[in-house]
Amino acid sequence: MTPIDLVDVCAWTGDWNTLSVEGDPETVTQNLRACGVTQIHLASLRTVWGHNLHLGNIDAYVAADQSDVVCPVPLIDPTLATWPEELAKAALHEDVRLVRWLPSYSGYTLDDPRASDCARQVHEAGLSLSIQVRIEDERRQHPRARVPDVSFEEVIAFAQNHPQLPIVIGGAAWRTVLSGAEKMLAGEHIYAETSQMDGVDSLALMVDAGLSSRLLFATHAPLFMPLAGIARILLDLNEADTTALLGGNARRLLDT
Amino acid sequence: MAHLSLESLHDLFDPEGPVIDAHVHPLQNFGSRRPFDAAEDVRLLREAGQRAGVTQAILFSLHSTTPRNPTIEQCREANDYAHQMAQCSDGYFLPFCYVTPDEPTASVEEIDRCISDLRMVGVKLWVARKATDPGLDPIMERSVHWDVPVLQHAWRKTTGNLEGESTPADVADMARRHPQSRIIMAHLNGCNPRGIEEVADTPNVCVDTSGGDPEAGVVELAVERLGADRVVFGSDAPIRHFGVCLAKVLGAQLPSVVKRQILWDNLQARLPPWGRTEGSP
């Protein structure tokens, strides 16, 4: 019996505008633990649609204080005047390994100089940066609240300008990631999480393309079913790659 | 906390019985890998399904070039390919006949060929015309004649449907025009909670769980609004992953008996006698 470490690099707490979910931290944690998840990197959805993204971060901090498996993922908006204070707070919290940007929801692009300033500070703080390219498929968004994806190419270009900063691409589709595999591999610290990578043999093809060490398990719970996130890895890959994707890669990136 | 073993993690995906998938395409249509021939298509696709616990699957080809408005000749080619796959799959794939409302008379002849000669078990309609179009009426009438189900693609896209792409409301219209027909509306997650309401009062429509992301709570909502006997499991493989789609049902907060209905019983009950597995309801 081989024990397996599952590190979920993208889970959320809170509710969503088009999908009512059981998003309180206790339920999210309980549901993920029931699927064997051993470490949960948790961010708050509560203020994604607000004017100040940072206000919801308290939810993730409180959840982490109440659970030994939750690591808070503060959301940072580099266009908010107080991002340096929010980042400093994140850096002081011993369980924070990752901060996240939501460029499309916050309304900026990655060529904004404020984004580069913030990225430099994230690196100096010794943290990794998650850039969420999608939370919800635009085809199912509310018609009065449409938010397009961030372009994968834009993220790659940004990562190339910050080669020492570990960047996790969040919510990308597998064909996009596969077609950009060479560019990802050309950078030493570019990763992608797997929560929205669907399709027969999708993960196997990405592993074949050399991305095994760059893929990180994520569930996108409670918006998505946790089991779905595990299925695409567990059912298709050999034991070594399964172990790496489900937890090994994330431990190597986030625990050092 | 204690770590699960790999073996116990696999146990989470045990469907505790047979699983029939209502919605699968050949790799030749949408696959990430292009198979050499129908036999290789069967091998790769069946292996992927079996890894997830899918024991049987409805298969329909939309032609190797997947035109939105296929000619009847392209439909025939697609159906011949699906038939070839079924023939070398040891019963794993049960084919549906793909036709086009652009050519209703020829489509009726193709349905007759596919069901009478090739023993296909249903009819597939995609995006050539909306389900409200009268071009579908002869096709629906023929499906009633043969007593086979019709699987109709549907979606409610915020970004806008294709010109001939049906919404759930369009499917409900078709169901009311043909109350004797048995309709499987595709893509529960793509139809979203509004779409569920749009077919709620058409009892001859059930919905397949294929397509879209594995959002939480949607299968439960469909069961609540339509009833447990009007939801069938589907994946939309190879566009979607068999296991990811199966997880929508296995992970749903529903009694085991309801999951069994969704994974097997409900679709078996809608297939014609020559497509059913012996002993199924």
Q: What pLDDT, on the 0 to 100 scale, is given for residue A190?
A: 98
Residue A145 above 70 pLDDT?
Answer: yes
CB hemisphere CA count around A163 (13 angstroms): 6
Confidence of residue B31 (pLDDT cuts 50, 70, 90): confident
CA neighbor of A197 nearest in space, from A218, A180, A227, A222: A218
Asked if the model's pLDDT at residue A208 lies above 90, the reply is yes
pLDDT(A157) > 60: yes
Buried b (16+ CB within 10 A) or exposed e, A108-133: bebeeeebeebbebbbeeebbbbbbb
- Segment B177-201 shows an average pLDDT of 97
Query: SS3 for B144?
Result: helix
Residue B185 half-sphere exposure toward CB, CA atoms < 13 A: 37
- A contact test, residue of B44, B241, B242, B250 with most A CBs within 10 A: B241
- A148 to each of A135, B61, B160, how far by Cα in Å? 10, 32, 14
What letter would DSSP give residue B23?
E
Radius of gyration of chain A (CA): 17
The whole-angstrom separation of Cα B89 and Cα B2 is 42
Whole-prediction pTM: 0.96
Chain B, 209 to 248: residues with Cβ < 8 Å from chain A are 212-218, 237-248
* Measured distance CA(B124)–CA(B264) in Å, rounded: 20
CA–CA separation, B176 vs B172, rounded Å? 6
Separation in Å, CA of A219 to nearest CA in chain B: 10
Given the candidates 1.10.10.10, 1.20.120.530, 3.20.20.140, 2.40.50.100, the CATH classification of the domain at A6-254 is 3.20.20.140
3-state secondary structure of B56: strand
Any alpha helices (H) in chain B, and if so which ranges? 6-11, 27-30, 38-52, 72-87, 104-112, 137-146, 168-177, 188-198, 218-226, 242-250, 256-260, 266-270
Q: Strand, helix or coil at A191?
A: strand
One DSSP character per residue, B76-91 reads: HHHHHHHHHHHHTTTT
pLDDT at residue B32, rounded to an integer: 81
Nearest CA in chain A to B189: A140
Q: What is the pLDDT of residue B92?
A: 98
- Is pLDDT of B107 > 60? yes
Please give the pLDDT value at position B281: 64
Q: Which residue of B has its CA nearest to A143?
A: B158
Using a CB-CB cut-off of 8 Å, the residues of chain A touching B246 are 231
A126 pLDDT higher than 60: yes
Structure tokens at B65: 């070039």
The partner residue sitting opposite A69, judged by closest CB among B1, B31, B247, is: B1
The predicted-structure confidence for B138-170, as pLDDT tens digits, reads as follows 999 999 999 999 999 999 999 999 999 999 999
- In chain A, residues with a C-beta closer than 8 Å to the C-beta of B240 are 198-200
> In whole angstroms, what is the distance from residue A23 CA to residue A145 CA?
20
Q: How large is the average pLDDT for residues B198-207?
A: 98
Helices (H), chain A: 25-34, 57-65, 83-92, 103-106, 113-124, 152-161, 174-179, 181-186, 202-208, 226-234, 239-243, 249-254
The single-letter DSSP state of residue B4 is: P
Q: Tokens representing A184?
A: 């990802």
Task: Inform me whether the pLDDT recorded for B128 exceeds 60.
Answer: yes
* Residue type at position B259: K
Check CB contact under 8 Å for A5 and B3: yes
CB < 8 Å to A144, chain B: none
Quote the ipTM score. Answer: 0.95
CA-nearest of A107, A226, A248 to B215 is A226
What's the rounded Cα separation, in Å, for the pair A198 and A173?
7
Residue B217, sorted as left (phi over 0), alpha (psi -120 to 50) or beta, turns out to be: left
Radius of gyration over every alpha carbon of chain B, rounded to an integer in angstroms? 18
Beta bridge partner(s), residue A129: A99, A167
**What integer best gives the mean pLDDT of chain B?**
96
Give the model's pLDDT for residue B1: 56
- Amino acid identity for residue B18 in this structure: P
Local structure of residue B275 (DSSP, 8 states): G
Q: Does the pLDDT value for residue B2 go beyond 60?
A: yes
Question: Is the predicted pLDDT of residue B279 greater than 80, yes or no?
Answer: no
Q: Which amino acid is at A94?
A: E
Six token digits for residue B48: 């992927």
| CA–CA gap between residue B185 and residue B205 (Å, rounded) | 7
Between vectors from CA A83 to CA A79 and to CA A86, what angle results, nearest 5°?
A: 150
Query: Which whole number is the average pLDDT over A152-162?
Result: 97
- What is the rounded CA–CA span in Å between residue A226 and residue A233? 12
β-strand pairing of A70-72 with A37-44: parallel
A61-85 pLDDT per residue, tens: 999 999 999 999 999 999 999 999 9
pLDDT of residue B3: 86
Nearest CA in chain B to A228: B244
pLDDT, tens digit (0-9, with 9 covering 90-100), for B226-270: 999 999 999 999 999 999 999 999 999 999 999 999 999 999 999
Cβ atoms of B248 and B13 within 8 Å: the answer is no
- d(C-alpha B239, C-alpha B247), whole Å: 16
pLDDT at B278: 78
Instruction: Among A147, A200, A220, A242, pick the best mutation site for testing chain B contact (most B Cβ within 10 A).
Output: A200
Distance (Å, whole) CA A217 – CA A227: 12
Beta carbon pairs, A and B, within 8 Å: 146
Tokens for B92, please give them: 């794993």
What span, in angstroms and rounded, lies between the C-alpha atoms of B239 and B86?
19
CA A250 from chain centre, in angstroms, equals 11
Q: What is the DSSP letter of B107?
A: H
Domain boundaries, chain A: 6-254
